[in-house]
Amino acid sequence: MKKLLAGIASLAMCASALTAPVQTAFTSLSANAEGDYNYAEALQKSLFFYEVQQAGELPDWNQVSWRADSMLTDEVPGGWFDAGDHFKFALTNAYTAAIMAWGVIEYKDALKKAGLYEEYMNNLQWGLDYVAGCDRGDAVVGTIGDGFDHQWWGSAEVYMRKYKLTSGDDARPFDLITSTSTMSQMAAAMAAGYIAFKEDNPTLAESYLEHAVSLFKVADATRSNDDQGVQKSYYPQTDFFDDLFYAANWLYRATGEQKYLDKCDEYIPNLATESQSTERKYTWGYCWDDALQGAALLYYENTGKEEWKTQIDHHLQYWIDGYGGKQIAYTPDGLAWLMEWGALRHVTTTAWLAKLASDVAFKDDAAKAEKYNTWAKKQLDYCFGDNNLNLCYVQGMGENNPKTFHHRTASGIHDDHWQSLGLDEADAEGWQTEYAHTLYGALEGGPSKDGTFTDEVGQYQYTEVAIDYNAGYTALLCAMLDDYDCKPLADFPPTETPKWNEFEVAAVIQQNQASYTQIQVWAMNHSAWPARVVKDLSYRYYFDISEVLDAGLSVDDIKVSIGYDQHAGDEGALSVSGPVQYKDNTYYIELKFNDGSVVMPTGQSEHRSEAQIRIAVADTAPAGAWDPTNDYSFQGLQEGGQDLLKSPEAITPYITMYDGGTLIYGTEPDGTTPSENPVVTPTEQPTDAPSEDILYGDVNMDNKVNILDVISLNKNLLGKELINEAQQKRADVLLDGGIDSTDSLTILKHIVGMISSLPVNP
């Protein structure tokens, strides 16, 4: 059986290799003598992106008009959402805050000159305060959130409503971990935060330093990454000595105490070396899982030791034109390309080191300083559009951005169909294709090694955005402000106005008889400015009773009934009142939800509530006593069923919707329309939601599990074929939140009968 499995696996790997990309050589692009881009605008918009990522109760200085409070019951309030989802990780919050702090520490005057210092410090403190809040002494809060964050696509403001629907819980889960790498990164962020704030806010700075000292002490004593918790499935940490080295350097810089340099000397023999070599590692890049090169530059700044200047030089040479027989790959149009996950994240972080090194380590070596400066600018400008695709990978910058980005809240999706974002209308089957919001300042993952870019929302290797993606990029922009006289935009950010009706009604005629009319109605909540719910929700249907009166009847002879109510029997049940006189012979009935917050933009089953309403006179009434054709709300309605109700033709402005007494949708008979900014009252009142069934092991999503699924998974693991989020979920047959060769082998064992069913518990 082992031979059989090995043979099948070999076939699968060989099939995967058939599509291996051709490695391309570096093609030089001419350097610009002057700054072609407004780096102050870019930094201004990057800070906006961090404000988009804010969780919890938003501060007064948050500038994002379409965001509101969220996740108010989290164990640790505030912080940044990690990426286009709603996880919060202490690791990535700390890594990001440390680099942002480094940027202002080195280039404070440039930030002040550009007029961005206060905004920058506000955003930096937001991240640092969360890191401090995660410190619990002997352990830290590692992750807030669970797998639901990757399963559900919707806005942060209504996340907890959907979470309560599916889990029954009022608060998100969290874990306490003792990972040395995480605690070291947190200690580094706290020490850097102390330096950044010690002049402006000494009290705050001292509190950061206390956390830094305590966190470092525990991390150094633990020296193990065994306890990573939930974050291991998303940000698995390997070696920890580089993180301890990084933190010790920051603590020395913060305190000047020799004991931290002594710790550095203790760690140095344990730092990674090149494969089959005694030379210290110079390949890869500075990131959340490899702090060595950032720590090396800090150590050089702290000690002035030439060997560490050489270490930095070797690393940058590897990234630029090669060192020791090794060189990073380049796209045909000149991007230094490390890997498919966040290619632009890696190159801008390395460009940050190159730019800082040119100003610090190589300031007396004009040739190298010029070389590293030129390379850093060239790589940054690639992100802004200096590439063969003329594509600016920073959303909201330039004229030609990718049309998709992987971000739930900014999408404004209300009915789960996020896969249609960015599609042509003809291919979207009527689902939403337009993003609600412009995600200003977000740096996308970037192109493939061959320079191509897959502009699809589900291909998140290309279109993902994240706080760590923007971290080195943001610090680099601080450095660019030191060289180029740029100013932020005076009229940024714009206040967004809704691109579609946030609340609306669709209706069709089910029956129209001599004595009654029955209509089918959908009351809908598609809010995204911000996403919200309305507790006191109602809608009105207007009709004319002239023919009733002409037949010798009165308004009391009109009877209204609800034949079907989607929320009958639960907290959202409808009640009907009226008829109520509107004006002259025009009356209305009001359909009021007992709790209108059941209509919410959280999924296909919740974004609308269906009711079937009958308005009638007695069957014995005189002929002609009922005639809906002169009714205000009847105009434009068509006869049909569910298919018509789903179509744009069913949307009617003549059935009006209200938040309490405030008109929020439609046009009343006298022409009254909603104000531009109607007041709505959010609430947190959950209801029920459907569960999801998937076929585990069906990686290619053809509703079968066979060797083709193994081939698809192996191609992905080799970086030769990308699979989307839904496919990754099906590939995770061990239910551990990630995919690797063990999942591939497990699917193989299932195919040959060694495992009876999928998924299996690890």
* Coil vs helix vs strand at 572: coil
CA distance 481 to 116: 10
Tell me, letter by letter, the H, E, C secondary structure of 338-400: CCCCCHHHHHHHHHHHHHHHHHCCCCCCHHHHHHHHHHHHHHHHHHHCCCCCCCCCECCCCCC
CA distance 244 to 268: 10
Concatenated DSSP letters for 573-601?
-EEEEEEEEEETTEEEEEEEESSGGGS-S
* Coil vs helix vs strand at 470: helix
Tell me, letter by letter, the H, E, C secondary structure of 655-719: EEEEECCEEEECCCCCCCCCCCCCCCCCCCCCCCCCCCCCCCCCCCCCCCCCHHHHHHHHHHHCC
Burial code (b: 16+ CB inside 10 Å, e: under 16) for 703-724 equals eebebebbbbbbbbbebeebbb
C-alpha of 503 from chain center: 24
Q: Which residue has the tokens 């965001």?
A: 67
Q: Please enumerate in sequence order all residues whose Cβ is within 8 A of that of 276, keeping only pairs 6 or more positions apart, or say none.
A: none
CA distance 369 to 354: 9
CA distance 586 to 579: 10
| Inter-axis angle of helices 241-255 and 258-267, nearest 10 | 160
Concatenated DSSP letters for 263-293?
HHHHHGGGS-B-TTSSSBP--S--BTTB-HH
**Tokens of residue 267, six digits:** 């760690």
Beta strands in 449-558 (DSSP E): 503-512, 516-525, 537-544
**Tokens of residue 181, six digits:** 């790498």
- Which are the catalytic amino acids? 85, 406, 455, 464
C-alpha of 642 from chain center: 33
- Of 80, 211, 198, 59, nearest to 133 (Cα)? 211
- Of 339, 319, 445, nearest to 719 (Cα)? 339
Alpha helices (H) in 25-116, listed in sequence order:
39-52, 90-114
CA distance 76 to 173: 11
- Of 474, 487, 493, 547, nearest to 517 (Cα)? 547
Under a CB-based contact definition with an 8 Å cutoff, are residues 82 and 89 in contact? yes
Name residue 656's beta-bridge partners: 540
Under a CB-based contact definition with an 8 Å cutoff, are residues 454 and 448 in contact? yes
**Tokens of residue 569, six digits:** 């029997």
- Cα dist from 308 to 298, 305, 567, whole Å: 9, 6, 68
CA distance 569 to 235: 45
C-alpha of 7 from chain center: 41
**Tokens of residue 420, six digits:** 């249609």
CA distance 687 to 115: 47
Report, in this order, helix, strand and coil percent for the chain, each rounded to 5: 40, 15, 45
Under a CB-based contact definition with an 8 Å cutoff, are residues 91 and 184 in contact? no
